[in-house]
A and B are shown apart, each in its own frame.
Chain A
Amino acid sequence: MSNVAGRAGRPAAGNHVTEAGKARVVTSSLSRRTMLKAGLSAVGAGLLGSGFRADGAPASGMTAEEEKLYADAKREGKVVWWTAHYAQSAADAVRDAFVARYPGIEVQFIRQTAQVVYQRLTQNLRAGVREVDVFASTDEAHYLILKRQGVLAAYKPLGVDSLPRAYRAIDRDNMYHVGGLGFVLINYSTKLPVPPHSWTDLLDPRYKGQVTVGHPGFSGFVGNWVVAMWDKYGWDYFTKLAKNNPKIGRSINDTVTDIVSGERLVGAGPDNYSLESKQRGNPISIEFPTDDAILIVSPVGILKDAPHPNAARLFESFYYTRDYSLAMAKVANYPLRPDIPPPSGVPIDKVKWYRNKAERLEKGVPEAVGKWRETFNV
């Protein structure tokens, strides 16, 4: 509680929260760490420990810009973040990492599938409700539409240049940036002696009643995958898939639950959550398909009339810090910074991938959803 009144322009109330908040945050991040630590395999373990100091003070030193942004953000005290990029546990980890680096700012977040968060956002915008600061969806097309509607703020986050060159500027006007990278690939139960090797393998009758997928009307990952399959193999791919009686959930992460529980054996699933589950010791594994894994570029953007603009900027910039990438790696997501090894062991440029164009997604996903409903009745 020292130096309360010393610094000019900083209200004492903020500092009162700080110490207690720090203690609480340290406890929860410690407990989260212990939990993850228990399940981690050797791949990720070595990365631990270097990230945080025992007293919870930020790990790496901050630049002057960052300090100033932090100060402004702390005055606002809160950031509201809606994300579809990863599963709940990964979102929790990001939240913990952010709060550990920037104590005094509360993170209020929702983790939902991409179409659902997008739906909520558009409903809010139509009703004139300003609730969200940072919007992180897995469907690039959303950002094309939002940018056209003029609801995104132009901002170049601090540290965005640490991204690999190919991903540094997906939008010329800096309205949104790459916030996450991931793949839709084949996940399968380790009970299977031989996993499927390609997407077309999933159509094989031996997998009848054993396939699990998400729903393009909910999940951005699944929407991406469906459009990709449609473009590669025609819609016939799905009429054939329907014959295999797949279990259709909502999120792409549902496939992981189904495989882990033994409900189904193979799925079109996410790399990150499948790997995290595997790291925790569950009987699931992944296979990069021979006919391309589908690369999902998940953008992140700030709303123009965000209720907490500075906190929003700080949060978006957080995506490009080491802390964030370390947290991502811990939960088996591709770290954005190239100086941190990927959890699957396979760097992005070594993967055989296929990526939908954003413009294709804009029209393709709604059409795909319509056709999906007709084919699968849901």
Chain B
Amino acid sequence: MREAALGPVVVRRPRRFDLSAGVWLGAAAVLLFLVVVPLVWILIASVHADADNRLTLANYVEAFSRAIYLTPIRNSLVLASFVALIAVPCGTLLAWAVGRTDMPGRPLVSALIFAAFVTPPFLGATAWIFLAAPNSGWLNRAWVALTGAAHGPLNIYSLAGAIFVIAMYSYPYTFAFVSSGLELVPSDLERSAAMLGAGWPRVAWRITLPLVRPAIIAGALLSFLEAIAEFGTPAFLLIPARQQVVTTQLYLFFQFPNRPNLAAAYAIPLLAVTVALFAVQQRLLRRGRFTTVAGKGGVRVPVRLGRWRWPLFGFCLVPPLFSLALPYGALVATSLSRAWGRGPVPGNLTLQWYRWALVDNLAARQAIGHSVLYAAAAATIATVLAVFTAYVAARRLVPGARLLAFAAMAPFVVPGIVLAIGFFAAYARPPLVLYGTAWMLIVAFATRFLPIAFSGVDAALRGVDLELENAARTLGASRLVTLARITLPMLRRSILAGWLVAFIPSLRELSSAVFLFTPATAVITTLIFDLSDAGNFEPVSALGVIMMGLTFALVAVAYRFFGGTALVQRRGG
């Protein structure tokens, strides 16, 4: 009877070797290798003397007892604190204006903030040198010309200058966090306050902002973290100012005379600070989720600003003015000048630097090619690892799977320069020498941006109903087949978005590249860094413009395919 209904019995295929277990363990091994080995090497290097490789604690003693090495630590803390102090109100105000009010031009402001997010701070620093160098900066010269003063008021070669520049590229983080937080706050809460007689400023201050306090604090912590780990801007602005921060001091340890083990010891506290802050930030975000009203935000009605609409819009254009309009203008103008000191006057205009970068200079052409190639390879490795790790962790396929997820996120708290030191310590010596090859940079970038790719894929994976996979397994699909045929096709968009958010930062990564490249494997950012001494500002600008052109082109492509939201991912959230 049964056969009449369904036909002869289907014979299942015979048992064969299950590749699944091996694949998961392999991915886990690669992950641990990439993340754990460099960090372990930092610890090992820090307790060996530079001169004779003896086991010793002298590095720690030297690093933390000499005043000349303690001052940079203080400077780093001051720098990061002030950056957070500036970036947070900026970002919060913008988030409120864009997310909560009927201010005109909100999409424009959002796009500008995103452009600031994508721009690397060190490029902004370079451009601000053209604008605000104490004697030769254009803004200062304009001031002198207009007011007849002895010299201009701005000096970008100062701690204040560095704080300003870093903050101008840091407020997008707070903006992203607070925007997300605001979306969960229902309008009803604000409207009831309004009905009780509160005007919109008071509503914003007393009701809205306190509700997103966890997001604000999380944004502040992230700004602090990024500022303290930033290398490019301090290198360009603070070395001439003779103020060191921890990252530039680390860099100097690698210069002449060469003290890499001392650098390792010096880097440990930086690592400790970032880990601690990150833990605090995570805890805040988690609690924040619970205290916000659960479920949908309800209908969101924008606050009506009345006659403040346009003034607020003008106000909101000020940060992008400092982050984008002025710096990019200066960069483009310089890249088109024969000699930047003379300014963009007719006799001084030329395309020769672009020709130099794209045609004449072999090193520049190679660097551009390398940037794209390494970034693509790194993003691919990071995404593949992220997919496997997220899957292993979410489905608990190996014991200690949660540790794997932790390992995948761990590089996020490690400042790029520290990671580079670790990679250098691990892979510039036998048995596995990656130094001098393209793989050194690719592996460093992949590790550095694995957390971003991972959080995207992980979040998307949690949205996949487990039953969909279980159904496939009852029908005879092994875990690997299920991953390939069921889970991954459903995650396609998230995976591609993950690839992009690893590719774009790799393209403009400086702080880890500057330690690990050799001239044969130079990328655009290291070339800019190298050329920025000896005052080669014009070719530097041309390279910078080319780099950002590539980046924005890719962002535009991504935007067309995925929409903007896929790219503005909350880090670590």
> Which of A's residues lie within 8 Å of B, judged by CB?
28, 31, 35, 80, 82, 87-88, 92, 106, 108-110, 112-113, 115-116, 118-120, 122-124, 126-129, 131, 217-218, 247-251, 253-254, 256-258, 260-264, 273, 282, 365-366, 369-370, 373-374, 376-378
Contacts and interface: CB of A to CB of B under 8 A. Distances in A.
B134 A263 contact: yes
A129 to B, nearest CB: 3
A253 B531 CA distance: 11
A378 B256 contact: no
B48 to A, nearest CB: 14
B534 A119 contact: no
Contact of A253 (B135, B360, B519, B535): B535
A119 B254 contact: yes
Contact of B256 (A110, A218, A256, A282): A218
Contacts of B361: 92
Contacts of B530: 110, 112, 116
Interface in B199-247: 239-240, 242-244
Contact of A251 (B71, B133, B157, B533): B533
B363 interface: yes
A371 to B, nearest CB: 11
B518 interface: yes
A253 B534 contact: yes
A92 B536 CA distance: 13
A365 B361 CA distance: 33
B341 interface: yes
A88 to B, nearest CB: 6
B518 A115 contact: no
Given A119-B254, A249-B240, A262 B135 contact: yes
Contacts of B399: none
Contacts of A118: 256
Contact of A256 (B258, B535, B537): B535
A248 B536 CA distance: 16
A263 B258 contact: no
22 contacts: A31-B360, A80-B520, A108-B519, A110-B363, A113-B533, A124-B518, A127-B435, A129-B435, A129-B436, A129-B518, A131-B436, A131-B519, A251-B534, A253-B533, A253-B534, A254-B534, A262-B341, A370-B257, A374-B68, A378-B242, A378-B243, A378-B252
A122 B537 contact: no
B430 interface: yes
A122 B259 CA distance: 13
Interface in B105-128: none
Contacts, number: 129
Contacts of B430: 128
Interface string B496-534: 000000000000000000000011100000000011011
A378 B244 contact: yes
Contact of B257 (A88, A110, A366): A366
Contacts of A282: 339
A292 to B, nearest CB: 25
B533 A217 contact: no
Interface string B407-443: 0000000000000000000001110010110000000
B4 interface: no
Contacts of A365: 256
B256 A366 contact: yes
Given A113-B533, A248-B239, A263-B133, 16 more contacts: A28-B360, A88-B534, A108-B363, A123-B435, A129-B436, A129-B518, A131-B519, A217-B255, A249-B533, A253-B535, A254-B534, A257-B537, A261-B341, A264-B135, A365-B256, A378-B239
Contact of A82 (B135, B339, B519): B519
Contacts of A108: 362-363, 519-520
A218 B433 CA distance: 27
B136 interface: yes
Contacts of A378: 239, 242-244, 252
A130 to B, nearest CB: 9
Interface of B: 68, 71, 133-136, 157, 239-240, 242-244, 252, 254-258, 339-341, 352, 360-363, 428-430, 433, 435-436, 518-520, 530-531, 533-537, 539
Contacts of A129: 433, 435-436, 518
A258 B258 CA distance: 28
A282 B342 CA distance: 10
What are the 4 A-B residue pairs with the smallest beta carbon separation, nearest first?
A257-B535, A129-B436, A115-B256, A261-B341
A115 B157 CA distance: 24
A28 B339 CA distance: 20
A116 B535 contact: no
B340 A261 contact: yes
Contacts of A109: 363
Given A366-B257, A373-B68, A248 B135 contact: no
A376 B243 CA distance: 9
A365 B68 CA distance: 19
B341 to A, nearest CB: 4
Nearest to B435: A127
Contacts of A273: 534
B370 to A, nearest CB: 13
Contacts of B340: 261
Nearest to B248: A378
Contacts of A261: 133, 135-136, 340-341, 535
B535 A120 contact: no
Nearest to A114: B256
B138 to A, nearest CB: 11
B339 A254 contact: no
A258 B535 contact: yes
Given A124-B436, A253-B534, A377-B242, A116 B519 contact: no
Nearest to A115: B256
A254 B428 CA distance: 31
A114 to B, nearest CB: 9
Given A256-B535, A262-B136, A262-B341, A127 B242 contact: no
